[in-house]
Amino acid sequence: MASELARTPRSAAREGREKAIFEAARAVFAEFGFKGSTTAEIARRADIPKANLHYYFPTKEALYRAVTEDVLNTWLEAASSFDESTNPSEAIAAYIGAKMDMARLDPIGSRIWANEILRGAPVIGDFLETTLLDWLKSRETIVRRWIKTGKLVAIEPRYFFYMIWATTQHYADFEGQMVALNGGKPLSDAQFETAKVQVIATLLRGVLPSET
């Protein structure tokens, strides 16, 4: 099959080098944004000559697109954790938990996203208007159903999702601020777990009807 030929696995060495460039690019783009990043700096962190970088990724923009689209896929995976079939508490808790874990495990991805949005989302703009909007609409429907059946207080679902996105992403994007406020040390696993539990509890209390 032709498609199988196209997917012929490259040598492991090649994949390794590509990944090294990719990871270096992620770190640099996350810190300096697209314009502020240089292929020279990325190559330096990947420990290869700049010319070699351009052999694997012809342009800075191609590399940026590859990095950005990868972040997008990670986002989509986490999105599925908001499950319609479970009850509101469980669905919301699972979703917030998944997004918190994402921020903890891949803060760089979150920062790449943040930089892209700050620029006006020139690359992922289409995705926002199509896939993300569709996702949001379908989840809004679910939330509205929960509200109608008295399982949630009357809220505008959209702004509730914004709160979740804002809070979870904050733990990745503003890590620098948190470190400064934590005596120069990153949040420990225990601290992060406390934060995660509290974020879930506070947001659930904020939208669940009083138990009267």
CB of 31 to DNA, least distance (A): 13
Q: Are 26 and 20 in contact (CB under 8 A)?
A: no
Toward a second copy, which CB reaches closer, 52 or 191? 191
Q: Is 115 in the site for a second copy (CB under 8 A)?
A: yes
* CB count in 10 Å sphere of residue 145: 13
Provide DSSP, 24-67. HHHHHHHHHHHHH--HHHHHHHHTS-HHHHHHHSSSHHHHHHHH
Identified binder of a second copy from the candidate list 61, 84, 156, 193, rule CB under 8 A:
156
Identified binder of a second copy from the candidate list 20, 66, 142, 178, rule CB under 8 A:
178
Cα separation, 18 vs 15, in Å, equals 5
Toward a second copy, which CB reaches closer, 18 or 132? 132
Q: For binding to a second copy (CB under 8 A), which residues are involved?
A: 30-37, 111, 114-115, 117-121, 125, 128-129, 132-133, 136, 153, 155-156, 158-160, 162-163, 165-167, 169-171, 173-174, 176-178, 180-181, 184, 194-195, 198-199, 201-207, 210-212
